[in-house]
Chains A and B, each alone.
Chain A
Amino acid sequence: MIDFSAFNDALGIMFTSAGSWGWIVPGLIVGLVFSAIPGISITMAMAIVLPMSLYMDFFSAIVFLTSVYTGAGFGGSVPAILMNIPGSPSSFATTFDGYAMSQKGEHNEALGYALFASTLCGIAGYVLLLLVIEPLADIVLRIGPVEMFAVAIWGMMLLGSLGSAYISRGLLAAALGILLGTVGMNTAGFTRGTLGLPVLLDGIAPIPAMIGLLAASQLLSLASRDYIIEAEGSREVSLRKILKGCWGTMKYPGVLLRGSIIGIIIGAVPGVGSSIGNLIAYAETKRTAKDSATFGKGNPKGVIAAESAVASGEGGSMATMLALGIPGGGATAILIAAFMMHNIVPGPSFIETQKPMVYAIILNNIVQAIVLLAVGIGFIYVASNIMKVRTRYVLPAILVIATLGTFAVTGEAAGPITLFVFALLGYALNRYQYPVSAVVVGILLGRMLETEFLRSYQLSGGNPLYILERPGAMAIFAVMFASLAMTAWGKRKQNRAEAAEALAMEKLRDEAAAHAAHTTPSKG
């Protein structure tokens, strides 16, 4: 738990180095702007500014970089909501309901929901981190391939909630995605499906592929529209509506809490990355919601669930980094490099000897989350104005930016070419009602599925009873199945209730008809 004397010292560090606070706002803005560019992920945004931070003193550099991290965590949701292009894989689930809301003219509210969920859960993640940083670190290292495989499967369950008119087409799309995700060299060193191209040895770059698939379904179809939203009255940018969305977030504490817990745990596990937490949080929220049928059609809970997992995952990822010195994902790998460049090696000895500094970093992140609220409102206010620009200006600019964004991923034409090839695939899949989202989920999770499944197999020597030695994995599967069973049971109850209601209505109608029939003659 909290070491109070260290906490006091941490407050001391915070106030004596007040000069470094000045880096919060620039850091947040840089993070917001960079990650709003399609193709620039959180990791890349941080990699871009890392060299800059070399010239600052240690605490300022960390404040600046973590501010970029905090800002970038939210920035990706802006293009996701306004244009259905996730800035990075972590904001993929935000597109489901966020874009649907903005198509209904509720983009102000959607951005407000996303921002507030991001802020609240960012704070929640760090507060929890303050409390449990050390025990969490030990648990995290114990998470093995079987547990990770369970998590990957959980992520795939999202497919169930992507509901397509044809189940078979959804499954084919998912299988295709998984196979695309396994192209290249696998964890055991076998190389498949690269067509002899060295760029494919590391697999298909997921970000260009994702943008291509989703862009084809959206951006190209914008060509025939004059504005992103067709209804003229809905294009307004309203601070009042943004704030209304922010405030509305408070109405869903359960969604926030669930998203935060999922986000923190998954963020803390090294190597999982931020692309899966939002998917699981979305799927779980949708499945447990009473109004699950409205998800995907602009239900604010979908936006909140996805964003809360992304924001809180940041705290989890920082916990692993500070306590163990190992990166939870790409962004924390950059942070570790920044620490090392300032001659500080994070890890168990750092936490023991420099606890006040660790607390100061965490406290500063909480401050950042609060500042993000103000900076974020300003940012989305400006960014929403894109709705008022005619597509003939927006579309060429966005397509060029997306192309260059994917170029930034790979550093050569391979990125833009991936974008284009997957745009064609995406168009064809959409045309024949295959859920493109299922392909994206497959691409994002395929590699993890294979890697963890393979390691589980190797560890167990092929003996399925090995899972009995892994209580953690059993617990994850148990929670997953319990959640599934409960939903199924809830659905049955709901269906029964609906059926009963329908029956009652029918009865009522019959009675009314009978009554009418009874009374008509007298009238006539």
Chain B
Amino acid sequence: MRIGRQTYAIDYGHLALITLIAAAVFWYLLDARSVSLSINNLLLVQPVAIFALALYLFILPQCFHKVDARAAEKSVDEADPFAVKLSTDRADVIRMAALGLSLGLMVFLLDVIGFDIAIFLFAAAAMAICGERRPLHLLGFSLVVTLVTIYGFRALISYPMPTTLL
């Protein structure tokens, strides 16, 4: 993107993330205000929400990098001890995404196909994603995980756990 003489690169992912956050915060503020305008309701929520929206406007420009400034910014990233360094290597990203996707599938299918089947499928998928290829190990270990966790948690908690086979 060009503005005037300067070329800008847009970090679309970052832009989407903070816009999503800001939209959620804005919706939350509206939702709270629609319940009641009483101070008992808005005392903390309103100022914090407005503060968050102000920060959004402040951070927004960070999504647009001057192209030549990009390289210089890289060095800043290294300093933070709490930031977790996520690998940006293509194969690793695909692995993480696949694992996240299978986690999501398991979570939403727990009630539908039963805890036992969902856990078994997830365990097998997760092992495959982590690099296990031997079918015997894959199925055997997944089965062990399923049996141990289902029977273990059933003994621990009083909530009924819908299962299909166990």
Contacts and interface: CB of A to CB of B under 8 A. Distances in A.
A400 B145 contact: yes
A318 interface: no
A163 B82 contact: yes
Contact of A193 (B32, B99, B159): B32
Interface in B64-91: 76-77, 79-84, 86-87, 89, 91
Given A163-B81, A176-B25, A431-B86, A404 B153 contact: yes
A217 B25 contact: no
A430 B145 CA distance: 29
Contacts of B108: 413, 417, 420
A420 B103 contact: yes
B77 A165 contact: yes
B35 A408 contact: no
A413 B91 contact: no
Interface in A63-121: 96, 100
B18 to A, nearest CB: 7
Interface in B1-57: 11, 13-14, 17-18, 21, 25, 28, 31-32, 35-36, 38-41, 43-45, 48-49, 51-52, 55-56
Interface in B112-152: 115, 119, 122-124, 126-127, 129-132, 141-142, 145-146, 149
B84 A217 contact: yes
A20 interface: no
B123 to A, nearest CB: 4
A192 B82 contact: no
A254 interface: no
A128 interface: no
Given A163-B81, A420-B107, A423-B100, A396 B36 contact: no
B76 A165 contact: yes
A333 interface: no
Given A172-B56, A423-B100, A450 B45 contact: yes
B166 interface: no
A176 B24 CA distance: 9
A373 B38 CA distance: 53
A413 B32 CA distance: 26
Given A193-B32, A216-B100, A164 B44 contact: no
Given A48-B157, A392-B132, A431-B86, A172 B55 contact: yes
B127 A432 contact: no
B156 to A, nearest CB: 6
B45 to A, nearest CB: 6
A169 interface: yes
Interface residues of A, number: 77
Most chain B beta-carbon neighbours within 10 Å: one of A166, A172, A296, A297? A172
A403 B48 contact: no
Contacts of A288: none
A186 interface: yes
B41 A192 contact: yes
B122 A399 contact: yes
Contacts of A274: none
Contact of B43 (A191, A399, A453): A453
A408 B156 contact: yes
Contacts of B130: 223, 390-392, 395-396
Contacts of B110: 403, 407, 413, 416
B126 A396 contact: yes
A40 B156 CA distance: 10
B107 A413 contact: yes
Given A408-B156, A430-B83, A192 B48 contact: no
Contacts of B45: 179, 182, 192, 450
A163 B80 contact: yes
Contacts of B98: 223
B82 to A, nearest CB: 5
A430 B14 CA distance: 11
Given A190-B40, A220-B99, A169 B59 contact: yes
A372 B38 CA distance: 51
Contact of B35 (A171, A190, A424, A457): A190
Contact of B141 (A176, A393, A401): A393
Interface in A377-430: 390-393, 395-397, 399-401, 403-404, 407-408, 411-413, 416-417, 419-420, 423-424, 427-430
Nearest to B56: A172
B100 A297 contact: no
A420 B104 contact: yes
A164 B145 contact: no
Contacts of A349: none
B87 A224 contact: yes
Interface in A421-452: 423-424, 427-433, 435-437, 449-450
A221 B82 contact: no
A226 B92 CA distance: 12
A353 interface: no
Given A433-B83, A458-B40, A220 B107 contact: no
A462 B119 CA distance: 53
B28 A100 contact: no
Report the 9 A-B pairs with minimum CB-CB distance, sorted nearest first: A392-B130, A396-B126, A224-B92, A188-B40, A296-B81, A411-B159, A175-B52, A190-B41, A192-B32
Interface of B: 11, 13-14, 17-18, 21, 25, 28, 31-32, 35-36, 38-41, 43-45, 48-49, 51-52, 55-56, 58-59, 62, 76-77, 79-84, 86-87, 89, 91-92, 95-96, 98-100, 103-104, 106-108, 110-111, 115, 119, 122-124, 126-127, 129-132, 141-142, 145-146, 149, 153, 156-157, 159, 161
27 contacts: A48-B156, A163-B81, A163-B82, A175-B25, A179-B28, A193-B28, A193-B32, A221-B84, A221-B92, A221-B96, A223-B92, A223-B96, A226-B131, A296-B81, A296-B82, A392-B132, A393-B141, A395-B130, A396-B145, A408-B153, A411-B157, A413-B111, A416-B110, A427-B86, A431-B17, A433-B80, A435-B83
